[in-house]
Amino acid sequence: MKSRESGPILSPFKHITLKEFRDELEIARGLTPMTTAMLQIAHESRRRDSTRLADIYHHAGLLYSYHCLYFLNPESVAVEYSNIRLLEALDNLEDTSTWIQKFPWPVFILETEYHEDISRQTSLRQMYQNVIGNIGFNHYSLVLQFLEEFCLVWG
């Protein structure tokens, strides 16, 4: 497998460049404001948060693709940028209780990204515990246990 910022990528999936992949995700993210307008969401804060949620999934998707589709190595500037943007979007949500059921996958991605950062792990685990407490799906406890073991092995 070859990893580079542009040009064809040799992956187990179809041949696509990183630029093409980013462009497709940007198009999908760009549809969010139009969809939000069509849904006529009454509260301004929820409209802003829906855009933030799109950013959360956008950057989580990029991080996942960088590693799983063999686009970039973990030390890449693009990886760090998406880590920061994902954290910022989560931190800037105005009403986390409305969106908390959407957190498990992006927080999982962040936890694997920050497997060597003890302080970041603590805040991300707290976020996961909030998910479990608020939506009541205890199967996320298994995910939390996996993440703790993952960080012990790879941290």
* Amino acid sitting at position 123: S
Q: What is the DSSP letter of 115?
A: T
| Pair 134, 77 in one domain | no
Nearest to 113 by CA among 142, 85, 141: 85
Q: In this predicted structure, what is the pLDDT of residue 90?
A: 95
* Amino acid sitting at position 89: A
Q: What is the DSSP letter of 15?
A: -
| Pair 27, 67 in one domain | yes
* Amino acid sitting at position 72: L
Per-residue pLDDT of the chain (155 residues; tens, 9 = 90+): 444 444 444 445 567 777 888 888 888 888 887 787 777 777 888 888 988 999 999 999 999 988 887 666 767 888 899 999 999 999 999 999 999 999 999 999 999 998 888 899 899 999 989 999 998 888 889 999 999 898 888 87
Range of the domain at 17: 1-95
Model confidence, pTM: 0.81
CA distance 38 to 9: 37
Q: Which two tokens stand for residue 137?
A: 């799906």
Q: In this predicted structure, what is the pLDDT of residue 66?
A: 85
Q: Which of 95, 113, 129 is where one domain is finished? A: 95
